[in-house]
Structure 1
Amino acid sequence: MKKLLMAMAAGTLTLGLAACGETAEPTEGTPEDKQSDLTAEEVYEKALTASQEMKSTEVALEMDQKISIPSQEVEMNTNTNLDMEMTLDPMALHQKGTMAMSAAGGEEMSMEIEAYMTEDGTMYLLDPQAGQWMKMTGAIPELDQLTQNQPDPSEQLEQLQEYAKDMKFEQNENEYILKLTADGEKFNDLIKQTLQEQLPPEALEQMGEEEQNALENMSINELEYEMYVDKETFNMTAMNMVMAMTMEEQGEELNIDMDSKTTYSNINGIEKIEIPQEIIDSAVELPQQ
């Protein structure tokens, strides 16, 4: 998972390196004595080093997602808010939050989310309706293989540069800001190739014909990133993403619009994720899939 986060952060950074030799444009109100002469390429290298040294972090995620099927006049909106603590090597986490869902013309439904994942991949999930904790052993059998298959971020640089259509490299008093719009049409092939390379072989084999066709017929229409990097530590402090994509399945067109905002804090400040003993004692074990 550490490799996964590194690849995510570094991959986003490399997308913005079409202007790698430029220094950051100061935003309005940035004091002159706080302005940096580092180039995007230099910030990338330092941020990559910082990501390799990351051992733990707290994450706050807010995501709005809309799924629509135009031919059926179906629309589903989902708002997710999650706070997460995680250690990266070995991987363990605790997440807690809410998910609200509503359909066009229907009532909104909301549910509480809470889960733990231990270093060996065991999951503890709260059933909010029953107030019961459930335990799933070996719930993520492909996790280790998935993280091992992450690409070397340095190898992505040349591959990803051509997909940046519009890139801005800015700075404020405390952060570097990378903003880019990726060319959706050209980016489609890269996304499909990356998914096929990074998904474990078992996961690909288990995908049905419909799922494989949906992946093949996926089209990314819009992709925008904003990434914030701390000027002193070069840790990523925030990443915002807007994405619009279309999938076709059984002749039906499915539109997915996503707007996510993620912030990172307390980096390397978490020693260990502790699961309360009462949760361990009361959890009902579910059969393995």
Structure 2
Amino acid sequence: MVHRKKWFLLLSTLFILAACSETQPVVQQEKTEEPQEEEEEKETEPTLTVEDILAKSIGEMQKVESLSSNKEFVQKIHLPDEEPYSTTTSLYSEVIQAPLSLYKKRVSEVPVMGDLITDIYLVEDGVYFKDGLEDVWFTYPEEVTQEIIGNEQTHMTPHEEHLELLARYTDQLTYEEQEDHFVLSFVGSSDVLHAFALELNNMMLDELASEVEEFMSMAEINQLDYTLYIDKETFRQTEWSMTLVLELPLEEDSIKRKINATEKLDQFNEINEIVVPLDVVENAEEFNLYLSEFEDLLEFNLKYTEDEMNF
């Protein structure tokens, strides 16, 4: 039981920025000619394609050195002969690319348990973690810290990878111009719907991805709505949203599952430092775990399992 709690804490860690013009009075005015308004020649800007917008956005996102993110997942599940239930997870992050440092706060509404809140700081000096099961801050041995850092480094450019994914499906994307954004939407045909949904799920749904992928392998996709907002001036992606509705047919009924996911990005290149509070540094307890046990935990792919999270 003790090891199970330690596993859960460690797994949580891994997840867990008009000019004014004046008129002069006319003393004497004889016959004057009103100046003719010169028509300004408006240069016609070339029409951008979806490919152009994505290429520009990928280039701009590669220049981002720090940002903040607000992510939310809402999942509603309808089981036969049972009351529907839902879970909600929100994740706030601040990330600096180099040297790698980050802060994450996750709030998960877990059935029966209520809200589970986790915090994690990853800085040059180490990893500091606190989760809702125990009101204690932990730090980790060097071997474990390096494993955590290595995992985070492999996921340092999710927003670039997101755009590169879309670039493979440009034939199924359309866009419209709003006042400040290009709004890209997926309108793919049924033959590519499942493939796109699977790739999007694996990239955007974090700890839900593995379990949802397994469910998708057996279920039918009833609905997939996807929208991405790209700033017209900076070409940075600022927000995306996805609605995925799945249905698993049974003999006399079905299991229905609806997932709404959103993310908003902000504070581009405005976060200069991630600072761990002094009381956290001074009071953090070292989390003792045999390295062999930690290696076993890697088989979970650094994600919560369905049993742990009850999703």
TM-score of the two chains, using structure 1 as the length reference: 0.62
Q: Deviations over 1:28-78 (max 9, x none)?
A: xxxx99x9843322211110101111211111223311234x236264311
Amino acid at match of 1:117: L
Look up the match of 1:222: 223
Shift of 1:221: 3.6
Q: Does structure 1 retain, via aligned residues, the 8 Å contact 2:51–2:167?
A: no
Matches within 5 A, 1:57-72: 57-68=67-78, 70-71=79-80
Look up the match of 1:78: 87
Amino acid at match of 1:66: K
Look up the match of 1:160: 169
Count of aligned residue pairs for this structure pair: 235
Q: Using a 3 Å threshold, how does the CA distance of structure 1 residues 219 and 276 change in structure 2: closer, same or farther? A: farther
Q: Does structure 2 retain, via aligned residues, the 8 Å contact 1:183–1:223?
A: no
Q: Secondary structure at the match of 2:230?
A: strand
Could you tell me how far apart the structure 2 residues matched to 1:56 and 1:148 are? Answer: 11
Shift of 1:239: 0.9
Q: Using a 3 Å threshold, how does the CA distance of structure 1 residues 211 and 60 change in structure 2: closer, same or farther? A: closer
Shift of 1:248: 9.0
Identical amino acids, percent of aligned pairs: 21
| Alignment of 1:88 onto 2:89 | no
Equivalent of 2:182, from 168, 176, 179? 176
Could you tell me how far apart the structure 2 residues matched to 1:185 and 1:143 are? Answer: 34
| Alignment of 1:42 onto 2:64 | no
Shift of 1:273: 1.8
Q: Does structure 1 retain, via aligned residues, the 8 Å contact 2:201–2:213?
A: no
Q: Cα RMSD over matched residues? A: 4.3
Q: Deviations over 1:71-96 (max 9, x none)?
A: 36264311233322112345432123
User: Larger Cα Rg: Structure 1 or Structure 2?
Assistant: 2
Look up the match of 2:132: 128
Could you tell me how far apart the structure 2 residues matched to 1:177 and 1:243 are? Answer: 19
Q: Secondary structure at the match of 2:279?
A: helix
Amino acid at match of 2:151: L
Amino acid at match of 1:81: S
* Structure 1, 57-66 or 94-103: larger mean CA deviation: 94-103
Shift of 1:219: 4.8
Name structure 1 gaps, 5 residues minimum. Answer: 1-31, 197-206
Could you tell me how far apart the structure 2 residues matched to 1:47 and 1:258 are? Answer: 27
Look up the match of 1:7: none
TM-score of the two chains, using structure 2 as the length reference: 0.59
Q: Secondary structure at the match of 2:234?
A: coil
Amino acid at match of 1:143: N
Could you tell me how far apart the structure 2 residues matched to 1:284 and 1:157 are? Answer: 43
Equivalent of 2:122, from 117, 123, 127? 117
Q: Does structure 1 retain, via aligned residues, the 8 Å contact 2:239–2:263?
A: yes
Q: Does structure 2 retain, via aligned residues, the 8 Å contact 1:170–1:176?
A: yes
Equivalent of 1:98, from 103, 107, 123? 107
Q: Using a 3 Å threshold, how does the CA distance of structure 1 residues 265 and 63 change in structure 2: closer, same or farther? A: same
Shift of 1:234: 0.7
Higher strand fraction (1 or 2): 1
Look up the match of 1:274: 275
Q: Secondary structure at the match of 2:182?
A: strand
Look up the match of 2:241: 240
* Structure 1, 218-227 or 233-242: larger mean CA deviation: 218-227
Q: Using a 3 Å threshold, how does the CA distance of structure 1 residues 223 and 131 change in structure 2: closer, same or farther? A: same
Look up the match of 2:35: none
Q: Secondary structure at the match of 1:62?
A: strand
Q: Does structure 2 retain, via aligned residues, the 8 Å contact 1:185–1:219?
A: no
Shift of 1:143: 1.9
Name structure 2 gaps, 5 residues minimum. Answer: 1-41, 203-209, 298-311
Shift of 1:233: 1.1
Q: Using a 3 Å threshold, how does the CA distance of structure 1 residues 267 and 214 change in structure 2: closer, same or farther? A: same
